[in-house]
């Protein structure tokens, strides 16, 4: 065929796209009328297709609610401390235990604690009881014939007790909506059958289908995932047609929905039915396609994972909810303060993933990377900040509404670390959660100076820093004095670490030191301005009299040591300055430059709090130090020392 590029012919705002889908597929038309019968215990999580009425009262007899004596209440009137009343046991007062059927002729129970026995046959009371006191009357909980649950009620574990108590053992539930998922793309490979060592450049492990399948199930549907389809229009068209003609209620293709020359989703949908939406002004998720084929919704989902997730949550999940007669889930929201100004593109509604934590009396939000292909930007997120399409971003000190992904108690129990990246922070987070499951550590990598600025703004509990004072060779102290004069802090050594040049195995460019960075055949990958590694590099360049402008790649920046290592491993750069542990993790060679000090800077306002003391407990543990040393390139002789 003629491979022509698509254009977004029917791009709409998110609100418009949702309206079009509601009008094309109204909830009443979507509702699954088919039912299946399930035993009550097996129906948890399913949606009732019919109202359920009790067949049995609960309790279905008058029952004693206490251990004691069953009596006719009127027989006890007049009893008091001054005029105690004696009752004949077995005739006027019949012994009962909790749950026993109330004997005929009785209507109340005297608690055994309020009875004195003069002898086995004679009980004395000093207070009367009133009718039905300490008695569970027949039908107190459930009355036969009453409505237990209406149709479209989702069955919970609590409901099981009510249904069984009401004499209901089998219920009619709505059939789960069936969703066909068709991954497309010649580059996709099956992780179940492809060894990692056989993975070739350009090949991608298929994961989106599994993500969307589980999202379908979480929404109450049933997913069927096909093997991937190559970039062949006829193959993709046939797969969609078979799905629509079969038992499926919704069809999702994955990939090929954008504007590339081999993006065939739009062509396939145009051939089979009607395109309702091609492109939505959201980020991520813009390339999504929504169409109608034979009266059924068909979606072309973006290939980038976060785009696919957002598109599913905003467009597909509402339809599945309608099929089950359920309202769309409403996320919990909190007010949060951004840790910095966040620009955004005008005309696009952005779903920005953020980390959250409570610092002082405020919840603070730190933006995560925006890349639609970065699945970790959503697995690491605590919430979603939705930036409307009519604004160009969020001001630094302006509180914003954030939709929670994780429960609020977890957010409140998060220790917020901002500053320089180090691999030992990941170990610390793991050890902390192993020891204290309700406590988590969230680190954002903005460089050492960024960490100090975060402390000054009051938006973190601690900052990671390895800032070299080029005058006296010390670390961090002079910067704290200069930039945090009004903020009392404590400094805790986390590690000493080896910093050096990372190069490909075998060092094919024969790089020996910093002086080789000016060579014409060497390309550098740098760290961002304000990071301790960048300050170290600039210091060494000044010592050697090297102009940074003479270094190829000096302005190409990454935010973590691991990102620098990946850039070298991938061939994007020949060399990068970073820690030995990052080089070792990816099998790179390492040319030592310096052993530096990496500290945690902690405001005194938080230092004595229980959570920070737990962090210090972990840092000082033998287990943590042993794990740090096992990474290589770290020294723990002073780990845990407080300055």
Phi and psi, residue 359, nearest 5°:
-115, 115
- Model pLDDT for residues 170-218, shown as the tens digit of each residue: 999 999 999 999 999 999 999 999 999 999 989 999 999 999 999 999 9
Task: Decide if pLDDT at 221 tops 90.
Answer: yes
Question: Percent of the chain at pLDDT above 90?
Answer: 91
pLDDT, tens only, 149-159: 999 999 999 99
- Alpha-carbon gap, residue 86 to 75, rounded angstroms: 10
The secondary structure element, H or E, covering residue 119 is strand 116-119
The alpha carbon of residue 366 and the mean position of all alpha carbons in its chain are separated, in whole angstroms, by 15
Give the DSSP letter string of 306-352: HHHHHHIIIIIHHHHHHHTT-PPP---EEEEEESS-EE--TT-EEEE
Token representation of residue 602: 């902690």
Classify residue 112 by its DSSP letter: G
- Maximum pairwise Cα distance, the chain: 111
Is 68:134 a contact under the CB 8 Å cutoff?
A: yes
- Scanning 171-292, the segments in alpha helix (DSSP H) are 208-218, 233-245, 265-272
Instruction: Find out whether 320 and 289 touch, Cβ atoms under 8 Å.
Output: no
Q: Cα–Cα distance between 241 and 234 in angstroms, integer?
A: 10
pLDDT at 371: 86
Mean pLDDT of 609-624: 97
Q: Tell me the domains of the chain and their CATH numbers.
A: 14-29+177-323 (3.40.980.10), 35-58+141-174 (3.90.105.10), 63-136 (2.170.190.11), 333-412 (2.40.340.10), 453-635 (3.40.190.10)
259 band by pLDDT with thresholds 50, 70 and 90: low
* Residue 260 in this model has a pLDDT that exceeds 70: no
| Integer angstrom CA distances of residue 279 from 14, 51, 276, 390 | 9, 41, 10, 18
Assess contact for 221 and 177: CB atoms under 8 A.
Answer: yes
Q: How far apart are CA 64 and CA 68, in angstroms?
A: 8
Give Cβ neighbours of residue 479 (< 8 Å, ≥ 6 apart): 448, 449, 452, 465, 467, 469
230 vs 51, higher pLDDT: 51
Tell me how far apart the alpha carbons of residues 91 and 527 are, in angstroms, rounded to a whole number.
92
Residues paired with residue 385 on neighbouring β-strands, in sequence order: 352, 402
**In this predicted model, what pLDDT tens digit does every residue of 269-301 receive, in sequence order?**
999 999 999 999 999 999 999 999 999 999 999
376 or 494, greater pLDDT: 494
pTM of the model: 0.88
Q: What is the spatial distance between Cα 125 and Cα 71, in angstroms, rounded to a whole number?
A: 12
The reported pLDDT for the residue numbered 6 is 52
Closest CA to 388 of 351, 342, 341: 351
179/243 Cα distance (integer angstroms)? 9
Distance CA 413, CA 441 (A): 9
Q: Is 361 exposed, middle or buried (0-12, 13-18, 19+ CB in 10 A)?
A: exposed
Predicted pLDDT at 1: 41
**Between the CA of residue 428 and those of 325, 424, 563, 618, what are the distances in Å?**
45, 6, 20, 7
Residue 418 and residue 463 in contact, taking contact as beta carbons nearer than 8 Å: yes
Helix%, strand%, coil% for the chain, nearest 5:
30, 30, 40
Residue 622 buriedness (CB in 10 A; 0-12 / 13-18 / 19+): exposed
Rounded to an integer, the average pLDDT of 499-518 is 96
Token representation of residue 462: 């601690």
Q: Which residues contact 141 (CB under 8 A, 6 or more apart)?
A: 58, 59, 165
Q: What is the mean pLDDT of residues 23-45?
A: 95
Identify any residues that bridge with 394 across adjacent strands, giving them in sequence order: 342
Q: How confident is the model at residue 2 (pLDDT cuts 50, 70, 90)?
A: very low
Inter-helix orientation angle 233-245/265-272, to 10°: 50
Question: What is the band of 257 on the pLDDT scale with cuts at 50, 70, 90?
Answer: low
How far apart CA 641 and CA 643 sit, in angstroms, is: 7
Query: Which residue in 196, 200, 170 sits closest to 42, CA to CA?
Result: 170
Inter-residue contact 495 to 424 (CB < 8 Å) = yes
* 3-class secondary structure, 7: coil
Q: CA 521, 523, 524: angle at the middle one, nearest 5?
A: 150
Q: What is the CA radius of gyration of the chain?
A: 34
Q: Is the pLDDT at 3 greater than 50, yes or no?
A: no
- Could you give the C-alpha distances from 254 to 248, 311, 503, in angstroms and in order? 16, 11, 37
Question: How far lies 77's CA from each of 84, 102, 109, 193, in Å?
Answer: 10, 20, 14, 83
Average pLDDT, the chain: 94
pLDDT at residue 397, as a whole number: 76
DSSP-derived secondary structure for 570-628: TTS-SEEEEEHHHHHHTT-EEEEEEEEEEEEEEEHHHHTSHHHHHHHHHHTSHHHHHHH
Alpha helices, H only, 436-531: 448-457, 477-483
238-256 confidence digits (pLDDT tens): 999 999 999 999 999 999 8
Question: Quick check: helix, strand or coil at residue 60?
Answer: coil
């Amino acid at each position: 065929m003629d491979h022509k590029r698509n254009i977004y012919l029917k791009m709409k705002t998110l609100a418009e796209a949702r309206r079009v889908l509601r009008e094309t597929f109204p909830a009443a038309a979507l509702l699954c009328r088919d039912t299946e019968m399930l035993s009550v215990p097996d129906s948890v999580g399913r949606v009732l297709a019919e109202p359920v009425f009790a067949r049995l009262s609960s309790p279905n007899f008058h029952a004693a609610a206490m251990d004691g004596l069953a009596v006719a209440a009127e027989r006890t009137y007049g009893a008091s401390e001054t005029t105690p009343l004696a009752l004949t046991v077995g005739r006027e007062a019949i012994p009962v235990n909790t749950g026993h059927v109330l004997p005929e002729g009785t209507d109340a129970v005297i608690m055994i604690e309020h009875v004195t026995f003069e002898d086995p046959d004679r009980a004395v009371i000093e207070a009367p009881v009133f009718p039905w006191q300490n008695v569970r009357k027949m039908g107190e909980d459930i009355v036969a014939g009453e409505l237990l649950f209406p149709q479209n009620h989702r069955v919970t574990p609590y409901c099981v007790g009510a249904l069984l108590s009401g004499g209901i053992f089998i219920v009619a539930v709505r059939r789960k909506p069936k969703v066909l998922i068709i991954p497309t793309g010649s580059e996709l490979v099956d992780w179940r059958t492809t060894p990692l060592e056989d993975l070739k450049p350009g090949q991608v492990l298929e994961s989106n289908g599994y993500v969307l399948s589980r999202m379908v199930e979480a929404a109450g549907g049933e997913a069927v995932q096909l093997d991937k389809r190559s970039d062949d229009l006829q193959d993709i068209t046939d797969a969609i047609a078979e799905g629509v003609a079969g038992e499926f209620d919704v069809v999702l293709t994955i990939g090929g929905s954008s504007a590339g020359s081999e993006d065939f989703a739009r062509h396939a949908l145009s051939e089979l039915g009607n395109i309702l939406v091609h492109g939505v002004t959201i980020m991520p998720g813009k390339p999504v396609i929504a169409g109608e084929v034979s009266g059924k919704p068909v979606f072309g989902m973006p290939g980038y994972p976060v785009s696919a997730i957002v598109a599913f949550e905003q467009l597909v999940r509402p339809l599945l909810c309608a099929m089950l007669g359920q309202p769309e889930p409403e996320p919990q929201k909190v007010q949060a303060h951004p840790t910095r100004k966040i620009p955004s593109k005008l005309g696009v509604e952005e779903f920005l993933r953020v980390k959250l934590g409570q610092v002082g009396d405020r919840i603070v939000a730190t933006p995560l990377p925006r890349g639609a292909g970065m699945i970790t930007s959503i697995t690491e997120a605590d919430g979603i900040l939705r930036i409307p399409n009519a604004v160009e971003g969020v001001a630094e000190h302006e509180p914003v509404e954030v939709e929670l992904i994780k429960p609020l108690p977890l957010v409140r129990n998060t220790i917020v670390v901002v500053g320089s990246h180090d691999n030992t922070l990941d170990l610390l987070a793991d050890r902390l959660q192993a020891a204290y499951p309700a406590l988590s550590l969230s680190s954002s990598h903005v460089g050492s100076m960024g960490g100090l600025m975060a402390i000054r703004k009051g938006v973190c509990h601690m900052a990671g820093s390895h800032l070299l004072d080029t005058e006296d060779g010390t670390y961090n102290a002079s910067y704290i004095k200069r930039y945090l004069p009004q903020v009392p802090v404590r400094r805790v050594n986390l590690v000493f670490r080896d910093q050096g040049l990372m190069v490909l195995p075998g060092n094919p460019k024969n790089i020996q030191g910093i002086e080789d960075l000016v060579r014409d055949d060497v390309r550098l990958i740098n760290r961002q301005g304000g990071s301790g590694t960048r300050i170290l590099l600039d210091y060494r360049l000044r010592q050697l009299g090297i102009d940074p402008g003479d270094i190829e790649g000096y302005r190409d920046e990454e935010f973590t040591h691991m990102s620098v290592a990946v850039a070298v491993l991938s061939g994007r750069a020949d060399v990068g300055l970073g820690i030995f542990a990052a080089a070792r993790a990816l099998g790179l060679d390492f040319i030592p430059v310096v052993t530096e000090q990496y500290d945690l800077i902690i405001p005194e306002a938080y230092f004595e709090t229980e959570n920070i003391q737990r962090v210090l407990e972990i840092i000082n543990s033998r287990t943590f130090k042993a794990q740090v040393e096992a990474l290589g390139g770290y020294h723990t002789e002073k780990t845990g020392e407080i300055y």
